[in-house]
């Protein structure tokens, strides 16, 4: 038992030492990404600008199918996040805009900064948890859960989200089914939609 305790203590010590070996690892996006992220940029070439992201300054274009837009602050366009296990995004909604059902590899926290939205997620037991959120309200979406946001106010809305991964990915359910190369007959079978309904969705995404 003592040997087991000593082993775990040693393992923890080693992991802590590895965690603090470098102050930061700004990603070098000119090199291929590995399973643990990008290789580190030469510290001699790192500047303050590497740690500043200005992509959230302005409202994004929302004149699209969903009347919304997502501006990503992921490691690909903010390499200072490399290895830190965090990322962010800005959500902009026109009146009536939605962020359709989607998921990530990570958990997500959302805070509303303008307007009023309904936000929610659906768990593996098909229970829906949703709430109308006002400015300053915060909600959590657990890892990998399908979730969504809808602008239910009379004005445009904005929210900021934070995710516990530098590259959490985004997979939109509707887009995955109808905007890719999945054949219409398979989409029809797995969604229980009619052929006409599937083709209508594919035409909306320009893949018919």
* pLDDT 10s digits, 19-60: 557 899 999 999 999 988 999 999 999 999 999 999 999 999
Calculate the CA 7 to chain-centre distance. Answer: 37
pTM: 0.86
Residue 8's alpha-carbon distances to 4, 17, 19, 20, in angstroms, are: 6, 14, 16, 19
Is 108 labeled as ligand-binding? yes
Going 76 to 55 to 175 to 203, the CA torsion angle's sign is negative
DSSP 166: S
Is 102 labeled as ligand-binding? yes
- Condensed to tens digits (0 to 9), the pLDDT of residues 10-26 reads 444 444 444 557 899 99
Closest CA to 165 of 88, 61, 91: 88
- Give the Cα separation of 121 and 96 in Å (integer): 19
Closest CA to 74 of 149, 3, 165: 165
Task: Using DSSP, state whether 196 is helix, strand or coil.
Answer: helix
Per-residue confidence in pLDDT tens, the chain, 208 aa: 555 455 444 444 444 444 557 899 999 999 999 988 999 999 999 999 999 999 999 999 999 999 999 999 999 999 999 999 999 999 999 999 999 999 999 999 999 999 999 999 999 999 999 999 999 999 999 999 999 999 999 999 999 999 999 999 999 999 999 999 999 999 999 999 999 999 999 999 999 8
Task: Using DSSP, state whether 102 is helix, strand or coil.
Answer: strand
Gap between the terminal Cα atoms of the chain: 64
Task: Using DSSP, state whether 179 is helix, strand or coil.
Answer: coil
């Amino acid at each position: 038992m003592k040997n087991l305790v000593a082993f775990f203590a040693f393992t923890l010590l080693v992991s802590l030492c590895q965690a603090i070996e470098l102050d930061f690892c700004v990603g070098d996006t000119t090199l291929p990404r590995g399973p643990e992220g990008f290789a580190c940029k030469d510290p001699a070439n790192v500047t303050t600008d590497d740690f500043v992201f200005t992509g959230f300054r302005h409202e994004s274009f929302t004149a699209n199918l969903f009347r919304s837009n997502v501006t990503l602050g992921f490691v690909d366009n903010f390499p200072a996040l490399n290895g830190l296990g965090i990322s962010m995004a800005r959500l902009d909604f026109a009146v009536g805009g939605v962020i359709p059902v989607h998921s990530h590899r990570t958990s997500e926290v959302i805070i509303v900064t303008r307007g009023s939205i309904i936000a929610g997620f659906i768990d593996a037991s098909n229970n829906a948890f949703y709430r109308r959120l006002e400015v300053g309200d915060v909600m959590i979406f657990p890892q990998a859960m399908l979730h969504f946001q809808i602008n239910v106010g009379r004005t445009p809305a904005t929210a900021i989200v934070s995710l516990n991964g530098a590259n959490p990915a985004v997979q939109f359910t509707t887009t995955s089914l109808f905007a890719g190369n999945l054949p219409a007959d398979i989409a029809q079978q797995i969604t229980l939609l009619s052929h006409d309904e599937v083709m209508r969705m594919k035409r909306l995404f320009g893949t018919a």
